[in-house]
Amino acid sequence: MLDLSKKRICVTGGSGFLGAALVACLRRLGCTAVFVPRRVDYDLTTADGLERMFADSQPEVLFHLAAVVGGIGANRDNPGRFFYENAIMGIQLIEYARRSGVEKTIVAGTVCAYPRVTPLPFREESLWDGYPESTNAPYGIAKKALLVQCQAYRRQYGMNAIYLLPANLYGPGDHFDRNSSHVVPALIQKFFEAKQSSVETVVCWGDGSATREFLFVEDAARGFALAAQHYDDIEPVNLGSGEEISIRDLATMTARLWGYEGEIVWDPSKPNGQPRRRLDTARAEQHFGFRAGISLHEGLVRTIAWYRHEMLRAEAAVRGA
């Protein structure tokens, strides 16, 4: 077992959604030397930014969570940017970690790397069985290239780099933006606004038939910490809940939790994305004892409560201004 509490740790993306949850998890484990590079200070797509980050943090353990990412719409509108920035950032960072003699590097992959049609549940061995869903293929391929790099560096240089594939994440602190957020925050925001404005109809993308698996962000953070402590193998590992739900049922559940009683209308002119997603999580449980602890229903309740609190606080701030 790697004792993280005794290590200098750097978490790229540590102020982001998953990163903030991981930093909090590391603090609970007794880690005191945790360095979080901010993009305003360290542009990790540049050699200069990386050199300064490694010089300032001198990490013994490195978590690479930073990514340029968004929902289906954002992926559709930014394929070149999502490919380039994720690829160049990750490839250079892993190389600098090797040069710097980092003891262990943990890289976050993406479920978007799986082929568009993958037998359920998604097993790690299926990653190379086809091309990813076209709406997010540039992002998925850029991230999958980092798996190849981690494996190649382990073989040639003996670098201890591991690669984790989390399911779609959600939870308090998620990114709520009408143009770029993922499906859970997008639906939470849609139904909140509809409820507030007494709108009779909410329009959702696609036909609702696609399915997804969601992992509560605190569970994901715990999974990354467990893997850092216990996993040292070359093979990628899925992190998920094993709970599959259609987007139609997810929308219905979200509306019910808000108390929204209007009509949900589907817009099939918008893309569904990958038809189905559900991960095989046996490898994570077998190798480092990870199992998700928060059900989707409980996670949505907690996320909606957080979002409601944030909206009320924002309204109070406006009234007090």
Using a pLDDT cut of 90, give the percent of the chain over it: 87
- Which CATH number does 4-320 carry? 3.40.50.720
pLDDT digit string (tens) for 146-193?
Answer: 999 999 999 999 999 999 999 999 999 998 877 667 899 999 999 999
Give the start-to-end residue ranges of the domains of the chain. 4-320
Phi, psi of 186 (to 5 degrees): -65, -45
Q: Residue 179: what pLDDT?
A: 67
pLDDT digit string (tens) for 289-298?
Answer: 999 999 999 9
Q: Residue 142: what pLDDT?
A: 97
- Cα–Cα distances (Å) from 232 to 108, 158, 180, 235, 298, in that order, read 15, 11, 34, 9, 32
Q: Which of 14-28, 32-46, 61-75, 205-219 has the lowest mean pLDDT?
A: 61-75
Q: Determine whether 131 is an active site residue.
A: no
pLDDT, mean over the chain: 94
Active-site residue (options: 139, 153, 170, 260): 139
Of 217, 221, 218, 240, which is closest to residue 229 (Cα–Cα)? Answer: 221
Cα–Cα distance between 171 and 184 in angstroms, integer? Answer: 9
Instruction: Give the SS3 label for residue 37.
Output: coil
CB-based contact 138:75 (threshold 8 Å): yes
Confidence of residue 315 (pLDDT cuts 50, 70, 90): confident
Within 10 Å of residue 111's Cβ, how many Cβ atoms?
26
What is Dmax (Cα atoms) for the chain?
61
Q: Which of 8-12, 90-94, 132-136, 241-245 has the lowest mean pLDDT?
A: 132-136
Output b/e per residue, 135-154; b: 16+ Cβ within 10 A: bbbbbbbbbbbbbebbbebb
